[in-house]
Structure 1
Amino acid sequence: MTQPGSSDANASRHNIRVNPVSDSIFEVIPGTGNGYLFWCGAADYAHRVIGVPWNARLHISRGLGPSETTMRRSAVQFTLDANQAAAPPAGGYGSVNSLQAGDTMSVQRAFDYCFVPFGRP
């Protein structure tokens, strides 16, 4: 699945930046960080910009770390291609804030995090 260029890649909710890393991987870079914003940005970008359906799956291909596309310290890389996803973490999904390679959820569930009040689960 080809992704739009980075000029189209600013997710509208909470001013979260999303940049393509490759044809199948995109990087989410919020201005401030908590797990909710990473998932929110990935879901908004996947649905609104790429046009995937709500039931598509987001996968973390690279967990929390420095951005490859900006100078920011905190970014997470996502993919919609299960073949590009990392293996699930040992012990399964931890929490929305774990941001580990292999974590996965539906676009709809991740988009719901766009409406979580800051500082609250």
Structure 2
Amino acid sequence: MKSFFAYSIAAAIALTVPTAASSAPNGYRTEPMNSTDFEVIPRARQDVDGYWCAAADFARRKLGAGWQQRIYVLRGYGPSLTTGRRTAVQFSLKMPTNVPQQNSSFQAFAVGESMSVQGANGRCRAIPILR
């Protein structure tokens, strides 16, 4: 009886505490910067597909973007402006206006790079369980 009461209290507290950020199903955190721009912040995973997957999830669920809406890289890897974490990637539903010239070296997230919400959502995949 005591454990049922303890679980009931814990559940009630968990349901009343508001969440400060949005969590994508793949373990990334997303934070809005304004009505069209947002950051994707990794927790444990840090693969490129995971960033795009989280961006698609946030664009659909929180910003109401359609499947054909484009998501643009606003800023590649850098410190988070919303959380202070060391690594984040900024995305936008608007095409960046002042896209700097890109050099020929590989960049995982080049400013101005874009993908449809549907294409980014296609990068979501199950995380393999390592034993």
TM-score per shorter chain, which class? 0.7 to 0.9
Q: Match for 1:100 among 110, 120, 128?
A: 110
> Could you state the TM-score of these two structures normalised by the residue count of structure 2?
0.70
> After TM superposition, where is structure 1 displaced by more than 4 Å over at least 4 residues in a row?
none
- Closer, same or farther in 2 for the Cα pair 1:9/1:89, shift >3 Å? farther
Work out whether residues 85 and 101 of structure 1, in 8 Å CA contact, stay in contact via their aligned partners in 2. Answer: no
Structure 1: gaps spanning 5 or more residues: 1-6
Work out whether residues 60 and 86 of structure 1, in 8 Å CA contact, stay in contact via their aligned partners in 2. Answer: no
Question: Which residue of 2 is the match for residue 4 of structure 1?
Answer: none
User: Hey, what's the Cα distance between the residues in 2 that align with 1:57 and 1:39?
Assistant: 12
**CA apart distance, 1:69:** 0.9
User: Hey, what's the Cα distance between the residues in 2 that align with 1:87 and 1:36?
Assistant: 23
Measured on the aligned residues, the alpha-carbon RMSD in Å equals: 2.5
State the structure with more CA Rg.
Answer: 2
**CA apart distance, 1:90:** 3.6
Work out whether residues 77 and 109 of structure 2, in 8 Å CA contact, stay in contact via their aligned partners in 1. Answer: yes
Q: Match for 1:76 among 73, 89, 102?
A: 89
Structure 2: gaps spanning 5 or more residues: 1-18
**CA apart distance, 1:102:** 1.2
User: Hey, what's the Cα distance between the residues in 1 that align with 2:102 and 2:55?
Assistant: 23
Q: Match for 1:10 among 14, 18, 22?
A: 22
Question: Which residue of 2 is the match for residue 38 of structure 1?
Answer: 51
* 1:106-121 map, 5 Å: 106-115=116-125, 117=127
Question: Which residue of 1 is the match for residue 8 of structure 2?
Answer: none
User: Hey, what's the Cα distance between the residues in 1 that align with 2:37 and 2:82?
Assistant: 12
Work out whether residues 36 and 63 of structure 2, in 8 Å CA contact, stay in contact via their aligned partners in 1. Answer: no
Provide the aligned length of Structure 1 versus Structure 2. 108
Work out whether residues 61 and 85 of structure 1, in 8 Å CA contact, stay in contact via their aligned partners in 2. Answer: no
